[in-house]
Amino acid sequence: MSESINVFQDNDNFWNYVKNNPELLGIPVSKHKGLDLLNALRDIRETYRKDLEAGDSMITLLGSLMLGIANGEGDAMIEEVIVSEAMINIDKKVKKVLDEGH
């Protein structure tokens, strides 16, 4: 990682490097699934910059997922994360539709 010297001089450069280099730090969730921790943190950072409450929910969700992994419940936790994300997306779409009606 020869670029690392330049990457860490600026926050945005660091997170752009992470975005362009997926799977730098993977945590196994189960035999077939993993968590890309650095890109999860990047997603949380981007969300925090736009919406503090949503960012807080995401960091709690990540913490819950990591706790579940530590307790051997990674598969169940990843399914809950997928469902939670789907519900957030549905809520956003419904809000957008309702906002367009006014």
Q: pLDDT value at position 72?
A: 86
Domain enclosing residue 50, as ranges: 4-100
User: Around Cβ 77, how many Cβ atoms within 10 Å?
Assistant: 20
DSSP character at residue 102: -
pLDDT band at 41 (very low <50, low <70, confident <90, very high): very high
**How many residues in the chain?**
102
Q: Tell me the C-alpha distance between 89 and 102, whole Å.
A: 21
For residues 1-21, give the mean pLDDT.
74
pLDDT band at 46 (very low <50, low <70, confident <90, very high): very high
Alpha-carbon 62 to chain mean position: 7
Q: pLDDT value at position 50?
A: 94
36 sits in which H/E element:
strand 34-36
Q: Give me 19's structure tokens.
A: 């975005």
User: Exposure of 67 by Cβ count < 10 A (0-12 exposed, 13-18 middle, 19+ buried)?
Assistant: exposed
Q: pLDDT value at position 5?
A: 56
Domain count, the chain: 1
